[in-house]
Amino acid sequence: MGSKDRGTKRSAPQQKNGAAVPVKKTKVAPKKEIIPESSSEEEDDEEDEEMDDVSSSDDLSDSEDELDELDELDDTESKVTSVAESASESDSDSDSDSETGSDSESTKESGAASSEDPNKKSSKEQHAEQRKVLAERKLQRKSGQEVQQIKNLWEKLRVKKPTPPKQVRDKLCDEIWNLSKDCILDLVMKHDASRVVQTLVKFASKERRDIVVSSLKGNYYTLATSSYGKYLLVKLLHYGSKESRTLIVNELHGKLRKLMRHREGAYVVEDLFVLYSTAEQRQQMIREFWGSEYAVFRDSGKGKTILDIVAESSEKKHLIMTNLIGTITASIEKGSTGFQILHAAMKDYVTVLLSDPAAHDKELREFIELLTEQFAELVHTQEGSEVACQLISVANAKERKLIVRGLKSHAKELIKNDNGNLVLITLFMTVDDTVMLHKSFSTELFTNELLPNLISEKFSRRPLLYLLKGLDGKYFAPVVTKPLKAYETLAYNTTTKKPQEQRRLEILDRALPLIYQSILALEEHDLITLLSVNIAAQFITELILTPTTVEEVNTKLRPELLALLFKLSVQGDILEDFHLINKVPFITRSLKALIQGNEFKWDNESKKLILIEDNEKISGAGLEFATKVTEEILSDSKTLDNWVANGQGSFVIVSVYEVLQLSTTEQQKFKELQKALKKVKKNLVKDTDNKGAQLLAKLI
């Protein structure tokens, strides 16, 4: 019987012609050395602070490389030792099978004794020896010694705390340059050495950068598709000269479609398009997506739009459209939907489709389906926003529902983005299902937490102003209204049916209570802070002056807000610095607007205020608000003196005086105000620095 004292199962010795066959020792071939790649530093000098993090990760990667190779050596040794022990045990078993029981016990003792090797090295000693072997191997590689010296110098150069003085930095750069100038191409493909070249490019002179660019000529496609080389390529684009950028762009010409389908290369193409290309180069890059003809012949199609090209022949149109949708689909599958260059390609594709929506209806439906879940990644660029708005305009009710569902979770980012806010306005202008829009956006955005910030920012207040005023030229420039009206026309020509004003008012009526409640929920000091922002104060004024049929707004919410504004901006001692008129001088514009309401309007031709009888009156504003201000000012003679002596306050009195003068129902109040002002006319005339006081003196 075989021995079992070691706890391992052994096979019986093989027999050949009655004799035991010795077990052959297995030869274990040493594994090939594997050096895994590691992350390189991010592009651009704005990421200097991240270099330490990336450095630490690369250092860790280096140590992991060494440990991996040490582990491999350990595995090799352990396998050889295991095979040797197995052979020894097999011999021992064959001997023990021919002996008696007592002999078996002695065999166990001798086996245990022989397994202890007094010359065996400790694990620490083995690792030290293996590290030494590994270091020798690295030095034997191509440019191994230079790389090691360069890395040692680079460790001193990249120190952040403290940053090396310029003289020391220049000296280190010179030393690194002398070692690396003849082997740059060998360095840039190594994960650690590539970072050295990036640092060198950052601190090098223009002449040295040009040498680096020239030495890498013919290898930029390889760099663009390399996990490490792409960062150096972006550095060369960022710090390189105009000539260097042109050289790189020209070399990559013809390969952009292939790069857009590559995981690493797509990021290089995007940076090249957005940051480092001229307008002419961008057009050239986009034309490359049209097909091989435009990739090979750089000037082919130059100066022509895609509509001009596709009009030349149906074969050309089919080829271009096939190439465009192929590149777009492949890039979306690779996760590159958010790239601006891809949005530009989409814009060309959609432009052709919308040249005849009826004929391209099938392609439009397929393209909308392709992008339905990706709409949120389109809205942050000008081209992407335009594509999104056009597709929303021609989408049917079912497709719009899916698009809205996809954008709902991104509503906050959508409304704040300088391009995304136009997508939201387009939804308000084209989608007939106003209940869905209210639930998806109004309830998500018009909250106590978000609304104060939304009305304080230039772009995020646009959709709110659209709901209040439509595309009023006071708030929407022609460059904004022109495309929005084009989307509206496109929508009504395809699927939209509900009248525009009806749709806007339906959304507004549901949103108004939320907007009022969000503002009224603010503490007084928070409301004062909000009113201190010019565009926020302007929005609140427009909100109050917007007529509505919502009973809650007319009877409760608007009167509450008007009372609060009156308390903060009119009541109190106007001579105190903390008074809102002194703290926020432009608040007088809001007061002037509230005093005039919708009943009175300044006529630019006659240069005076006129009464408009047909306009819908706002309860609490206009003449009512002017009367209330008059009563506060005339409450005692001291208050009137303080108001006329205040530069901003005197202009408020001018507005009140003009409104009461035109009124047919408040002539008694007008006479009281006129009489009180005549008593202080001498003071008004003397106060020559107060323009409002001088104007009052002329009026009375």
Percent of the chain with pLDDT over 70: 81
In a domain, 574, yes or no: yes
The answer to whether 181 and 174 are in contact (CB under 8 A) is no
Give me the mean pLDDT over the 618-646 stretch.
Answer: 90
Render pLDDT for 493-535 as a digit per residue (tens, 0 to 9).
989 999 999 999 999 999 999 999 999 999 999 999 999 999 9
Domain check: are 465 and 381 in the same one? yes
Evaluate if residue 1 carries a pLDDT over 70.
no
Domain check: are 407 and 493 in the same one? yes
CB atoms within 10 A of CB 153: 18
Domain check: are 362 and 496 in the same one? yes
If you ran DSSP here, which 8-state letter would residue 381 be given? S
Domain check: are 491 and 579 in the same one? no
Residue 68 confidence class, pLDDT cut points 50, 70, 90: very low
Question: What is the number of residues in the chain?
Answer: 700
Domain termination residue (choose one: 521, 540, 567): 521
Percent of the chain with pLDDT over 90: 47
Domain check: are 484 and 622 in the same one? no
Residues paired with residue 15 on neighbouring β-strands, in sequence order: 20
Domain check: are 493 and 576 in the same one? no
Render pLDDT for 438-466 as a digit per residue (tens, 0 to 9).
999 999 999 999 999 999 999 999 999 99
Domain termination residue (choose one: 504, 521, 538): 521
> Cis peptide leading into 162, omega within 30 of 0?
yes
In a domain, 498, yes or no: yes
In a domain, 117, yes or no: no
The answer to whether 270 and 284 are in contact (CB under 8 A) is no
**pLDDT, position 136:** 66
In a domain, 325, yes or no: no
In a domain, 501, yes or no: yes
The answer to whether 459 and 417 are in contact (CB under 8 A) is yes
Pairing status of strand 600-603 against strand 608-611: antiparallel
Domain check: are 692 and 568 in the same one? yes
Give me the mean pLDDT over the 673-698 stretch.
Answer: 86
Give me the mean pLDDT over the 636-642 stretch.
Answer: 87
In a domain, 533, yes or no: no
Domain check: are 516 and 661 in the same one? no
What is the secondary structure of 106-118 as a DSSP string? HHHHHHHHHH--T
Q: How far is CA 260 from CA 252, 270, 405, in A?
A: 12, 9, 29
- Count of domains in the chain? 2
| 266 vs 31: which has the higher pLDDT | 266
Domain check: are 390 and 448 in the same one? yes
The answer to whether 41 and 47 are in contact (CB under 8 A) is yes
Residue 384 confidence class, pLDDT cut points 50, 70, 90: very high
Domain check: are 614 and 677 in the same one? yes
Residue 635 confidence class, pLDDT cut points 50, 70, 90: confident
Residue 569's domain comprises 553-699
As a whole number of angstroms, the longest Cα–Cα distance in the chain is 140
Residue 359 confidence class, pLDDT cut points 50, 70, 90: very high
In a domain, 631, yes or no: yes
**Cβ neighbours for 687, distance < 8 A, ≥ 6 positions apart:** 644, 645, 693, 694
Indicate the average pLDDT of the chain: 82
Domain termination residue (choose one: 468, 501, 521): 521
Enter the pTM of the model: 0.77
Cα 210 from Cα 190, distance rounded (Å) = 21
**pLDDT, position 93:** 46
**pLDDT, position 322:** 94
| 287 vs 104: which has the higher pLDDT | 287
> Which of 348-362, 507-521, 522-536, 606-620 is least confident?
606-620
Domain check: are 500 and 607 in the same one? no
In a domain, 426, yes or no: yes
| 19 vs 364: which has the higher pLDDT | 364
Residue 117 confidence class, pLDDT cut points 50, 70, 90: low
Render pLDDT for 571-595 as a digit per residue (tens, 0 to 9).
988 888 889 998 888 899 999 999 9
Evaluate if residue 420 carries a pLDDT over 90.
yes
Domain check: are 499 and 590 in the same one? no
What is the secondary structure of 391-456 as a DSSP string? HHHH--HHHHHHHHHHHHTTHHHHHHSTTHHHHHHHHHHH-S-HHHHIIIIIHHHSSTTTHHHHTT
